[in-house]
Amino acid sequence: MSLLKPYLKLWFPFVLAVTAAALGLESIEGYKIKTTEYYGLMNLGADYFLVIIIMVSLPSLVLYPLIGVPVSLIMRRWIGSAAVRTVLYAWIGVLGGMWFFNENYLEDMVVRFDLRISTAAICFGMAGLFYALLEHFLISRLGRELGFEKLG
């Protein structure tokens, strides 16, 4: 259980980071879309936050313990360098952001409104970086509390 303790503490920050990345992407790129074909922040206003909670926060809340924790445990077990893990988490965020961008914005809208996938890469890459740094901090702190030089 002691190995899972920091990951349980990371559950809520993970969901917040993914949600913030999705809202950041929408506020930068989605706001460029000026058509009723797309129901984003511009068309739905404050109701868009409810959409984000349903479409992003809830799935990430469920997927974190199913995918995020096992990936984190495997990375911590097999990749000794915190710097390498940090880069990998950032890259996972970048790839996830690119997937999210392609799922949410039709190719026609990307061309017509000059949407940039790099914004998604930056927003979600920063979420991955945030997660990596927080994970490193929590595991280091927990290791000191338990009297281990290095936990995991």
Mean pLDDT score, 46-63 = 83
Residue 115 backbone dihedrals phi, psi, to 5 degrees: -80, 145
Burial call 32-66: b when 16+ CB within 10 Å, e when fewer: ebeeeebebbbeeeeebeeebeeebbeebbeebee
Mean pLDDT score, 86-97 = 97
Q: Please tell me the pTM assigned to this model.
A: 0.85
Could you tell me the residue ranges of all domains in the chain? 5-146
Judged by average pLDDT, the poorest of 58-62, 85-89, 97-101 is 58-62
Q: How high is the pLDDT of residue 58?
A: 86
72: exposed, middle or buried (Cβ count in 10 Å: 0-12, 13-18, 19+): buried
Q: What is the mean pLDDT of the chain?
A: 85
123: exposed, middle or buried (Cβ count in 10 Å: 0-12, 13-18, 19+): buried
Query: Taking a C-beta distance cutoff of 8 angstroms, is the pair 104, 28 a contact?
Result: no
